[in-house]
Structure formats: C-alpha cells, structure tokens
Amino acid sequence: MSRRQGDRFWAVWLLCLASALGCTGAAAGEVLERVQARGALKVCIWPDYQRISFRDPRSGQLSGLDIDLATALAADLNVKLEFVDSSFPTLVQDLHTNRCDVAMFGIAMLPKRMEQLQFSTPYLQSDIHAVTTRTSRTVRQWSDIDQPGVLVGVQAGTFMEPVMRQRLRYAGLVSIQLPQTRERELAAGRVDVFMTDYPYGRALVDSTEWAALLVPPTPIHPLPYAHASKPGDAQWRATLSSFIARIRQDGRLDSAARRHGLESILLP
C-alpha cells in the first residue's frame, strides 16, 4: 500500500468511526434490536473461501475462522445462527437490503467499501499472493508474473482486482466472474496464474498436489480484514468491535486462528 493509499484508507476509516458522514443507512440500534427480536443472527458468508468460510461440497459442512467466530458471536448474543450465502460482488447489496445483519468472510477494508459499509475492529491482515501450478513453464517465480503474454486471473469483486489492474504493466488481467473459479480457469489454461490472499492460497496448496504458492518479495498491498455491516448503526458497530476485543482478550480468536492455520496473519 502506498503512503497516499494508506492516508486515504485511515482517513475514511476514522471518518466512519467519528461521524455519520458517508455512513448513513441504518437507524441507531436497529440491527441489534432486529437480531434480538428475531432471536437469530443472520451472517453473510462466501462459502468458497477456504480457511475462512468454506462449505465442503460433499458433506455440506461449513468450516473456517469466520464460521467459528460467527458461532461465537451468536452464542455471546444468546441467539440462533443463520448463514446466508453471499459473495464479494454482492456484499454491499446484501447488507444494504438486510439479507444479513453482518458479513463475516474475511472482508478487506478497501477505501471504496468503507465508503459504503461500516466495519468492526480489524482482526487479520493479508497481502496479495499468487497461485500457479507446480508444472508451469510460464510462471515459476514472482518475477515471471508481469511479463508480456502472461494472463493473470483475479476473482471479480475481490480487492486483488483493482490493485492488479493498476500494478500490471505488461501482463494481461482476466476478471473471473462467478460461477467460474480461479482454479478452473488456471487448470484449463485460460490464465497462467491467479492472485489471492494468504488464507485461500495456503489452503489450496495444502489440499492439492498441483498448486504452488508464490509470496511477493516485498509487500504489495497488505490490507486489514474485518466484519462488515450496513452503515449508520453505531451501536451495532460497537457490538461487533467489542466482540473482537473480547475474543482477543479471552483467547478465542487466537485458538480459532491456530485451528485454521491463520495465526501468522492475526493482528495484535
């Protein structure tokens, strides 16, 4: 992240914390009242996000850090838990239309998102990583990526898309729209490499025999991750941030991160 990007990021975040400017949308106290009246917490997830919010295609079972944290949040609020399938492209709409009360699937705090949503205290931070195949002759190391003729895949709606669009000088960018996945496009040879973050890339490499993870030699665009909700409800934002502070203090966050191999990207 450049200094200018960093300044803008924190300026927007502080603005959203300090005032209602650019963060209007929900009445104060609306979300918590709705959750308590319903007796259930609706949590948006992206069920293809390994180690964060992943649904096993065979068993249908959900697993990941944010699945554990959503379970803990519902328990703390003494309500039932309902998961709602979402995605990065539909994230803002799903929250603004009250399809869910909170989105918990490793959401990077992009300045554009912070203009449209409100966020809890961040709990993770990841940079961009790359996934190629172990047998690739085109991309074997990081310096092979931004070269003429190389096709770089990004999942549409993720923070990698605008970052890589700005950074790539020679390689071509391919925006992959759901239901297509980066893995399928790489396996089919329609991209030579795809960009992801640490949780997804690490899980893919550990669960397959063909994937190779490339780590940037220097930081590219590290971003904090947090839980997102409809803007304007300061009480709900405080509830979510208080939850992060509580599980950080009592060890539940650290235990969940270790369980899913994400302790290295936990924020202190």
Question: How does residue 180 score in pLDDT terms, banded at 50, 70 and 90?
Answer: confident
Tens digits of residue pLDDT in 226-239 = 999 999 999 999 99
Nearest alpha carbon to residue 236 among 6, 34, 13: 34
Range of the domain at 194: 128-214
**137 plus 119 within the same structural domain:** no
Q: Does residue 219 belong to any structural domain of this protein?
A: no
**243 plus 159 within the same structural domain:** no
> What is the CATH number for 177?
3.40.190.10
**109 plus 7 within the same structural domain:** yes
Question: How does residue 157 score in pLDDT terms, banded at 50, 70 and 90?
Answer: confident
Q: Would the pLDDT of 164 be above 70?
A: yes
Q: Does residue 220 belong to any structural domain of this protein?
A: no
**96 plus 171 within the same structural domain:** no
Tens digits of residue pLDDT in 182-215 = 999 999 999 999 999 999 999 999 989 999 999 9
**229 plus 108 within the same structural domain:** yes
**91 plus 190 within the same structural domain:** no
Q: Would the pLDDT of 7 be above 60?
A: no
Domain count of the fold of the chain: 2
**187 plus 142 within the same structural domain:** yes
**118 plus 206 within the same structural domain:** no
